[in-house]
Amino acid sequence: MRRNIVIPLGLGVGVLLVVFLPLIGGDYYVYLFALVFTNIILASSLRPSLMCGQLNIGHSGFMSIGAYTSALLAKNLGMPFEISLLCGALLAAVVGLAIGYPALRLRGVYFAMVTVAFVEVIRLIAQIWVPLTHGMSGLSGIPKPNLLGMTLVTKTSQYYLVLFLMLVILTVLWKLESSRLGLIWKSIGMADNLAQSLGVDIAKHKLLAFALGCFFAGMAGAFYAHFIRFLFPPEFGFLMATNILVYNFVGGRGHFVGPIVGAIFLSLLSEPFRGSPYETIFFSIAMLSTILFLPGGLITLPARLGGLRWQRTASAPTSSPVA
Amino acid sequence: MTASLLVQSAVIGLSIGSIYILMALGLTLMFGMMHIINFAHGAVYMLGAFVIYYVFFQGGAPYFAAFAVAMVLLGVFGYLVERGIYRPIKGGIEPTLVALLALSTFLEAAGYPVFGQLDKHVPSVFEGTRSVLGVSISVERLMIIPIAAALVAGLYLFINKTKIGAAMRAIEQDKEAAALQGVDVNMVNGLAFAVGFALAAAAGALIAPIFKLDPMMGDQPLLKAFIIIILGGLGSIPGAILGGLMLGLIDSVVATALGAEPAFLLSFVFIILLLLFRPAGLFGYAP
Count up the domains in chain B and report the number: 1
List residues bridging with B120 in a β-sheet.
B213
Considering the domain boundaries, does residue B224 fall inside one?
no
Q: In this complex, do A109 and B265 lie within 8 Å of one another by their Cβ atoms?
A: no
Residues ≥6 apart with Cβ < 8 Å to B157 = none
Chain B residues near residue A277 by CB distance under 8 angstroms = 109-113
Please check the confidence at residue B180 and state whether its pLDDT lies above 90: no
d(CA A156, CA B40): 41
Chain A residues near residue B271 by CB distance under 8 angstroms = 114, 117
User: What ipTM score was computed for the predicted complex, to two decimals?
Assistant: 0.83
pLDDT score, position A237: 86
A246 close to A168: Cβ distance less than 8 angstroms: no
Looking at residue A145, what DSSP letter applies?
P
Distance in Å, alpha carbon of A99 to nearest chain B alpha carbon: 7
d(CA B29, CA B75): 14
Q: In this complex, do A105 and B268 lie within 8 Å of one another by their Cβ atoms?
A: no
Window 10-49 of A: residues touching B by CB (8 A cutoff) are none
pLDDT tens string A228-282: 988 898 888 888 898 999 999 999 888 899 999 999 998 888 888 877 888 889 9
Q: What is the dihedral of CA A74, A78, A84, A87, to 10 degrees?
A: -110
B270 touches chain A (CB under 8 A): no
Chain A residues near residue B94 by CB distance under 8 angstroms = 53, 55, 108
Q: In this complex, do A118 and B234 lie within 8 Å of one another by their Cβ atoms?
A: no
Once rounded to an integer, what is the mean pLDDT over residues B103-117?
A: 91
Please check the confidence at residue B287 and state whether its pLDDT lies above 50: no
d(CA A144, CA A151): 7
A139 three-class SS: strand
pLDDT score, position A210: 93
B254 touches chain A (CB under 8 A): no
Q: In this complex, do A117 and B35 lie within 8 Å of one another by their Cβ atoms?
A: no
pLDDT score, position A16: 82
Cα Rg for chain A, rounded, in angstroms?
Answer: 21
Considering the domain boundaries, does residue B270 fall inside one?
no
**CA dist list (Å): B174 to B33, B93, B102, B177, B181:** 9, 17, 29, 5, 11
pLDDT tens string A185-233: 888 888 777 777 777 788 888 899 999 999 999 999 999 999 998 889 8
Distance in Å, alpha carbon of B198 to nearest chain A alpha carbon: 22
Chain B residues near residue A297 by CB distance under 8 angstroms = none
Once rounded to an integer, what is the mean pLDDT over residues B155-166?
A: 91
Percent of chain A with pLDDT over 90: 34
A42 close to A59: Cβ distance less than 8 angstroms: yes
Selecting from B39, B93, B279 the residue whose C-beta is nearest the C-beta of A105 gives: B279
pLDDT tens string B136-160: 888 888 889 999 999 999 999 999 9
More confident site: A208 or A26 = A208
**Half-sphere exposure (CA, 13 Å, Cβ side) for A193?**
1
A65 touches chain B (CB under 8 A): no
Q: In this complex, do A112 and B102 lie within 8 Å of one another by their Cβ atoms?
A: no
Sign of the torsion formed by the C-alpha atoms of A250, A251, A255 and A256: negative
Considering the domain boundaries, does residue B282 fall inside one?
no
Considering the domain boundaries, does residue B249 fall inside one?
no
**HEC secondary structure over A94-109:** HHHHHHHHHHCCCCHH
Selecting from A103, A112, A281 the residue whose C-beta is nearest the C-beta of B97 gives: A112
B83 touches chain A (CB under 8 A): no
pLDDT score, position A310: 60
Chain B residues near residue A238 by CB distance under 8 angstroms = 219
Confidence of residue A319 (pLDDT cuts 50, 70, 90): very low
What does residue B138 show for φ and ψ, rounded to 5 degrees?
Answer: -70, 140
Residues ≥6 apart with Cβ < 8 Å to B83 = B190
Chain B residues near residue A120 by CB distance under 8 angstroms = 219, 223, 264, 268
| Shortest CA distance from A294: residue in chain B | B89
Where do the domains of chain A lie?
25-237
> Which helix (H) or strand (E) covers residue A193, if one does?
helix A192-197
d(CA B258, CA B40): 30
d(CA A218, CA A106): 25
Give the residue from A47, A113, A190 with the most B CB atoms within 10 Å of its CB, the best one to mutate. Answer: A113
Mean pLDDT of the residues in chain B: 88
Distance in Å, alpha carbon of A120 to nearest chain B alpha carbon: 9
Q: In this complex, do A284 and B230 lie within 8 Å of one another by their Cβ atoms?
A: no
Residue B44's nearest CA partner among B267, B209, B198, B256 is B198
Chain B residues near residue A285 by CB distance under 8 angstroms = 102, 106
Q: In this complex, do A121 and B265 lie within 8 Å of one another by their Cβ atoms?
A: yes
Chain A residues near residue B276 by CB distance under 8 angstroms = 101-102
A238 touches chain B (CB under 8 A): yes
d(CA B245, CA B240): 9
Residue B48's nearest CA partner among B192, B197, B224, B228 is B197
Considering the domain boundaries, does residue B287 fall inside one?
no
Residue B94 sits in which domain range?
A: 25-217
| Shortest CA distance from A245: residue in chain B | B98
Q: Characterise B128 by phi-psi region: left (phi > 0), alpha (psi -120 to 50), beta (else).
A: left
